[in-house]
Amino acid sequence: VLLLDEPLTGLDPATKAEVAAELHGHLRRLALPAILVSHDVGDVLGLADRIAVLEAGRIVQEGAPAQLLEAPRTPFVAAFTGANYFLGTASLRGELTQVLAAEGARFLSTDAATGPVGVVVHPWDVSLAAVRSFASALNELTGPIVRMAPLGNRVRVTVGSRPAIVAEVTADSSARMGLAPGRQIVATWKATGTRLVASPSVDDGGA
């Protein structure tokens, strides 16, 4: 077994991409079982067949990279993958599911569920606008921009709503909208972008 402990840490983006590509090629050619340790999900997504996330010394979720990105089971895993995660209580409302979350927020989802759930919203599914829209997006949170983090040609924007939510927009969109910390903004997303997963207490048997 080949153990790789943080092999890409400390590298600039260009060098990291080059080393990751070389490492990927070597691992495939050698066909050796390998364990790659990292605190950055971006370092392992293109290299790993399976990912195990450790929290407080125990594995809290294991699966293919796409599975972890699509349905993180705990707030810790969601933070690791970069997803928004809320806890709430779900009830059916016609063809949709309504979730009552923290601080009185209500979300709508096309996923069917009842009882305690985890709510997953990916930043790239969240749209930002200066004023409230009456378009097809059924979920909305409003608040000031509290943080902006450039990611290549995209920007991750943290909105200080209740609860807070992170959106991801292109750098061009950010500049065009004049986004800046302190500016009041409306975050919206569709019911199809609200993914419901088992809450940690239910999934772990209360552990």
The residue-averaged pLDDT of 10-24 equals 86
Give residue 13's pLDDT.
77
Q: Is the pLDDT of residue 207 over 50?
A: no
Residues 6+ apart with CB under 8 A from 158: 145, 146, 147, 148, 149, 164, 165, 166
Token output for 151: 């990611």
d(CA 184, CA 172): 19
CATH of residue 43: 3.40.50.300
207 belongs to a structural domain: no
CATH of residue 146: 2.40.50.100
Locate tokens 């972890």: which residue?
68
Q: Is the pLDDT of residue 206 over 80?
A: no
Residues 6+ apart with CB under 8 A from 87: 75, 101, 102, 116, 117, 118, 119, 199
The residue-averaged pLDDT of 71-92 equals 93
- 162: containing domain: 84-202
Q: Are 77 and 68 in contact (CB under 8 A)?
A: yes
Q: What's the pLDDT tens digit per position in 151-187?
A: 889 999 999 999 999 999 999 999 999 999 999 999 9
Give residue 189's pLDDT.
97
Give residue 40's pLDDT.
86
79 belongs to a structural domain: no
Whether residues 57 and 123 fall in one domain? no
Token output for 171: 């750098």
Domain boundary among 49, 71, 93: 71
d(CA 50, CA 68): 9
Q: Is 98 exposed, middle or buried (0-12, 13-18, 19+ CB in 10 A)?
A: middle
Average pLDDT over the chain, rounded to whole? 90
Q: What's the pLDDT tens digit per position in 97-156?
A: 999 998 889 999 999 999 999 999 999 999 999 988 767 789 999 999 999 999 889 999
Q: Is 139 exposed, middle or buried (0-12, 13-18, 19+ CB in 10 A)?
A: buried
CB count within 10 Å of CB 71 equals 19
Q: Is the pLDDT of residue 205 over 80?
A: no
Domain boundary among 71, 92, 121: 71
Residues 6+ apart with CB under 8 A from 109: 90, 96, 97, 99, 119, 191, 194, 195, 196
At 196, the amino acid letter reads L
Give how many domains the chain has, as a whole number.
2
113 belongs to a structural domain: yes
